[in-house]
A and B are shown apart, each in its own frame.
Chain A
Amino acid sequence: SQTIHQWPATLVQPVGSPLSLECTVEGTSNPNLYWYRQAAGRGLQLLFYSVGIGQISSEVPQNLSASRPQDRQFILSSKKLLLSDSGFYLCAWSSQVGPSYEQYFGPGTRLTVT
């Protein structure tokens, strides 16, 4: 069965510091991968998605970036965090096989920028 991991689970970082969040998927090959952010009391916002190694699409302009160095690894980064970057960051995967577009989420990283 497929599993998705994210770390760290929680993070407190000062404004202006760098960020690196990691997501890995097990039990599947060539998944679609996604980064979402959920701000307090708000809906999920798609930040990035990837259909393959090195292929990243950005949904919203921001000071965040994403990379996919390996098939099942997805990394979210920032060089300098802003207060507005605080939120719940969720990684998700979906299969590229078949018509299903169901997405499955990792446990998330709760980021607080101080």
Chain B
Amino acid sequence: EAGVVQSPRYKIIEKKQPVAFWCNPISGHNTLYWYLQNLGQGPELLIRYENEEAVDDSRLPKDRFSAERLKGVDSTLKIQPAELGDSAVYLCASSHGTGSSQYFGPGTRLLVL
């Protein structure tokens, strides 16, 4: 069974530029999560999707971050414009449902200069 796929693996951009991350969850997993992880910290949830519906986006900074999961499968997370403090690892995870075990993708390491 293929795991969670994310791209790109690394991204370096200048501040104020836009950036987008893509995630394809494990086949059959209807719940998809985007997390942010800073060095020395645990992952922090940004947004959770149940199929195509964003059911928990309370921690997503909506002034600059947006996400979509149009067909209930893969998802895109966008930052526009990026700030220096956005440098972090962006992790995507999926599960069979809320409360079930979550499986993480390899992450996208973002560096904003």
**Do A and B make up one complex?**
no
